[in-house]
Homo-oligomer: A and B are copies of this chain.
Amino acid sequence: MINKTVSNVEEACKGIKDSMTLMLGGFGLSGIPENAIKELVRLNVQDVTCISNNAGVDDFGLGLLLRKHQIKKMISSYVGENKEFERQMLSGEMEVELIPQGTLAQRCQAAQSGIPAFFTPAGYGTEVAEGKETREFDGKMYVMERAFKADFAFVKAWKGDEAGNLIFKGTARNFNPNMCGAAKITVAEVEELVPAGELDPNEIHIPGIFVQRIFQGTAYEKRIEQRTVRPKK
């Protein structure tokens, strides 16, 4: 067993530099790497490019980096929940590339898989396809999309073991497994870190080979963005 554990988030983030490209898992505020984001704020890295489906809210998630103007460019599919984001984007302070959600996921998976490019129908005929190769297959039009290139991927899992194996929970899984191994270094933070052998090899969502560093996170807030309920009968 190759041990991937590091003792804390500081060690996990070693080597992060200004102007790097970072991938961050999560959908909305669910399954985001809370510890890593706080550390990025503390380290005050500048001019980073972030690949993440969303941009957090004003005072949580990637919103924390936005507020400190650490982000040079965001690559996302939906950024609707963040006023400061909209301001920085419309004012031109921050560069924004909006891409279809499925294309975002697949460009991560392509990077993970050593697939340099693939074809998708998403965005054909729209501004998303501008400057990209398009091609017909069996009578339907497709856009060629490239694998992402990133320096660090930060993911959040429910359980993990020393070997870096990960298990996610519910819809907090989302982009996290697809970003593992899609950057030069993948940092996984987990709610519960267990010794190798405690996780059933059949139930592992992402094998440790895709993870370079793993640590047990602390003080998870796990904020809910839209609390919707029905009354108990």
Give residues in A with beta carbon < 8 Å to B.
106, 110, 113-121, 137-138, 140, 142, 146, 167-170, 201-203
**Which B residues touch A120, using CB under 8 A?**
114-115
What is the chain B residue whose CB lies nearest that of A167? B202
Chain B residues with CB under 8 Å of A119's CB are: 115-118
Complex CA gap A8/B201 in Å reads 31
Query: Is the contact region of chain A dominated by helix, strand, or loop, or is it mixed?
Result: mixed
- Asked whether B118 lies within 8 Å of A142 as measured between CB atoms, the reply is no
**Closest 10 A-B residue pairs measured CB to CB?**
A116-B137, A118-B118, A117-B119, A115-B118, A116-B119, A203-B203, A116-B142, A117-B137, A115-B119, A169-B202
A and B contact pairs by CB, cutoff 8 A, 26 listed: A106-B113, A106-B115, A110-B118, A114-B120, A114-B121, A115-B118, A115-B119, A115-B120, A116-B119, A116-B137, A116-B138, A116-B140, A116-B142, A117-B118, A117-B119, A117-B137, A117-B142, A118-B118, A118-B119, A137-B146, A167-B202, A168-B202, A169-B202, A170-B201, A170-B202, A203-B203
Report copies per complex.
2
Contacting residues, chain B, for A117 (C-beta < 8 A): 118-119, 137, 142
**Which residues on the B side are within 8 Å of A203 (C-beta)?**
203
Q: List chain B residues, Cβ under 8 A from A146.
A: 137
Chain B residue at smallest Cβ distance from A168: B202
Nearest B residue to A140, CB-CB: B116
CA distance A202 to B202 in the complex (A): 12
Complexed CA–CA distance, A116 and B142 (Å): 8
What is the CB-to-nearest-CB distance from A172 to chain B, in angstroms, rounded to a whole number? Answer: 10
Nearest B residue to A158 by beta-carbon distance? Answer: B202
